[in-house]
Structure 1
């Protein structure tokens, strides 16, 4: 079972980063892989159990469900419901923590999933690089442009 753990430091206060990340339907505004996103059944994007349906820029469509969200702890978790990629039981967790030296943010992003053994290395690299690392860089750019 692949287990991916990535983290970074963002040069912005945790509340600034959280205000972007906590919108479960907002990743199409900052993540370079996401073209469009909607919450099914017109639910609020912070309602536990809501499902986001989004299209990647390559045309693939995915669905993810919000499992948990805590403003107090600045965390959320989600589950991948549907994907054309051979990943199963994908659950991810995001957590922000303050870095008091410079009022910055520590961003921790991790996931576990199952897949065929022959796909594990390639999918682990894809999630780590094309999703997580690309997301870190995109948030940096997004916050810089918003400032």
Structure 2
């Protein structure tokens, strides 16, 4: 039996009115994704120090269905690496009840020149995952596009004026 190829996806979005330095603090706070991610009402650190490689977070009430019949969906995610100079980090899903296996993602913030203040940034979210039963790669990428846009707009709104 041939091994099924991993899914890979990349989504990105641009904010014109805030720069990479203003957005990065929200991303590097690994234990606060629930503040920005739509539908995720719980995120707490369960191992290690927030923002340090090796720390683990528990995220609950995700916007995807649980596959084990549970009332809510959850993941446990480990921060693999973080680079404050490059404004990037990688993380993986260690365990979950949403049917995802072998998931690794990278988030990177790039500076761009845009907007009336001559600043801006682009956030890019790349992922690799084993195909998920009942999902399609196209729908998964579309969901990530929507989630990323909502997340960065929420972050932008939280930047002190």
Structures share fold, TM-score greater than 0.5: yes
Paired residue for 1:108? 124
Give the superposition deviation at 1:120.
4.9
1:30 matched to 2:50? The reply is no
Distance of 1:62 and 1:2 partners within structure 2: 19
For 1:113 and 1:124, locate their aligned partners in 2 and report how far apart those are by CA, in whole Å: 13
Normalising by structure 1, we get a TM-score of: 0.86
Runs of 4+, deviation exceeding 3 Å: 129-132
Residue 136 (1) aligns with residue 149 (2): yes
**Do the aligned partners of 2:76 and 2:95 also contact (CA within 8 Å) in 1?**
yes
Unaligned runs of 5+ residues in structure 2 are 1-5, 64-71
Residue of structure 2 equivalent to 1:46: 51
Aligned-residue Cα RMSD (Å) equals 2.0
Partner of 1:90: 103
User: For residues 5 and 135 of structure 1, what CA distance do their matches in structure 2 show?
Assistant: 11
Structure 2: distance between partners of 1:93 and 1:14: 16
Secondary structure in 1 aligned to 2:103? Answer: strand
Q: Is the 8 A contact 2:103 2:130 kept in 1?
A: yes
Q: Tell me the TM-score normalised to structure 2 length.
A: 0.79
Which piece of structure 1 moves more, 65-74 or 2-11? 2-11
5+ residue gaps, structure 1, are none
Instruction: Give the match for residue 62 of structure 1.
Output: 75
* Number of residue pairs aligned between Structure 1 and Structure 2: 143
Q: Does 1:80 align with 2:93?
A: yes
Give per-residue Cα distances to partners, 1:18-66, cap 9 Å, x unaligned. 011111111111111211111113x321111111011125621210000
**Bigger proportion of residues as helix:** 1
Structure showing greater radius of gyration is: 2
Tell me how far apart the structure 2 counterparts of residues 129 and 28 of structure 1 sit (CA, whole Å).
20
Q: What are the Cα deviations for residues 100-125 of structure 1, in whole angstroms up to 9, with x where unaligned?
A: 34210011111011135x5451x652
